[in-house]
Each structure stands twice: as structure tokens, then as C-alpha cells.
């Protein structure tokens, strides 16, 4: 993750909710509804969006990890992510480039990020901005064994903080980001299901 999941938070598609829901049905993986919250905070340097999301999937942490760290394929299953590629690896430190688009109404914004990912295998992924279309960006994935309604699996939690380097409509920004985060996690869970 530290996948371009970070970028995906900003990325939005009109058809993404349907695509993610259909993918989950095809994958037939047991999961719970994704919860997500986004806060818009005014700071002297600009508007910051703080994101919290979590979900449960009936899969092992190792199976979840395999999908979250498949950097070169992430764009194949995450909505609005057009490119994701591993630029370099030095042990547990990875540099990834992501390109996608953020869309609302008739406006579309292309977004490019280069992020540094610090991997703690099977438990956590920390992501920080190297360069791109954000003034500030950081995120964290937490992966932990869990039980939900009698089923064993993994709790996936994502938290992030971002300050876009482009205009985001005040009224729609929070709604779009919340939707994108949910769609991203839904897409990850669907991909996990395909690999079971």
C-alpha cells in the first residue's frame, strides 16, 4: 500500500461504486461493509483532509499483504488509478509512482504522486509523499488478524492526511474523498477474494 491507495483516496469515478460491488460479488469473499470518515480542516497553509476507514475480510494477513503490496498491478483493480509502478526497493523501503484522475461534475483533475512506502510485513504500511500533486500527504495501513461474526479473517484499517495542490470544491470534496476511500477498500477486498 502502500499502494497507490493513497492516491486512490482522491481518485473518484462515477461508475466506481458499481464496479467495486460487482467485483466483490464475483469474488464471493466474506466481508463487512466498509466504514469511512473524512474531516475537512482549515489550516494556515491550506485545507487538510483527514481520513479514517476500516473493514474486515475473511482472508489471512498474508493474503491481504500480497494485494496491498502488488504495486505494479494496483491500477488493474483500483478505480481511477491509471498507473502504478514500483520505482525502487531498498529492503523494506519502496518508492512507488501513481497516476490517476479525480472527477466531479464536468471537471477532471489528473493526479500524480511519488510516494515512499515503509513496509512492516503482514502488519503495517506507512506512506509519505516524495513529490506530486499534493502539498502534504501521508497515510498508514494497519493489518491485523480478527474475528467477525464467528469468521476468522483480517481487519484492514487505513488512515491518512492530505492537502491537495489543486482546487477541490468545498461542498463536494469530503463526500468525494469518502466515496473514493470506500471504493478503494472495496476494490482491494474484491482482489483479495480473487486470490483466495
**152: region left, alpha or beta (phi > 0 left; psi from -120 to 50 alpha):** beta
CA angle 26, 97, 66 (to 5 degrees): 40
**59: region left, alpha or beta (phi > 0 left; psi from -120 to 50 alpha):** beta
- Alpha-carbon gap, residue 7 to 16, rounded angstroms: 15
Domains and CATH numbers, the chain: 5-194 (3.30.530.20)
pLDDT of residue 31: 55
- Judged on CB neighbours under 10 Å (0-12, 13-18, 19+), 150 is exposed
Give me the average pLDDT of each 10-residue run along the chain (196 residues): 39 38 45 81 91 93 96 94 96 96 70 96 98 94 95 94 85 82 89 88
3-state secondary structure of 173: helix
pLDDT of residue 7: 40
DSSP calls for 77-111: HSTTEEEEEEEEEETTEEEEEEEEEEEETTEEEEE
pLDDT of residue 10: 39
Rg of the chain over Cα atoms, rounded to whole angstroms, equals 16
* Three cell numbers written together for 168: 477541490
pLDDT of residue 80: 86
pLDDT of residue 29: 52
Amino acid at each position: 500500500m502502500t499502494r497507490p491507495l493513497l492516491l486512490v483516496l482522491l481518485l473518484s469515478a462515477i461508475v466506481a461504486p458499481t464496479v467495486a460491488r460487482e467485483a466483490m460479488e464475483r469474488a464471493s469473499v466474506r466481508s463487512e461493509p466498509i466504514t469511512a470518515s473524512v474531516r475537512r480542516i482549515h489550516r494556515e497553509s491550506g485545507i487538510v483532509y483527514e481520513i479514517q476507514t476500516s473493514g474486515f475480510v475473511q482472508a489471512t494477513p498474508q493474503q491481504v499483504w500480497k494485494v496491498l503490496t502488488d504495486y505494479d498491478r494496483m491500477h488493474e483493480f483500483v478505480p481511477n488509478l491509471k498507473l502504478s509502478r514500483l520505482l525502487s526497493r531498498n529492503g523494506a523501503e519502496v518508492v512507488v509512482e501513481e497516476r490517476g484522475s479525480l472527477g466531479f461534475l464536468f471537471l477532471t483533475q489528473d493526479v500524480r504522486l511519488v510516494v515512499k512506502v515503509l513496509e512492516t510485513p503482514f502488519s503495517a504500511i506507512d506512506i509519505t509523499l516524495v513529490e506530486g500533486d499534493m502539498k502534504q500527504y501521508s497515510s498508514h495501513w494497519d493489518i491485523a488478524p480478527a474475528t467477525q461474526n464467528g469468521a476468522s479473517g483480517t481487519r484492514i484499517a487505513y488512515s491518512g492526511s492530505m492537502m491537495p495542490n489543486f482546487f477541490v470544491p468545498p461542498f463536494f470534496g469530503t463526500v468525494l474523498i469518502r466515496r473514493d476511500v470506500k471504493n478503494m477498500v472495496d476494490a482491494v477486498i474484491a482482489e483479495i477474494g480473487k486470490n483466495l
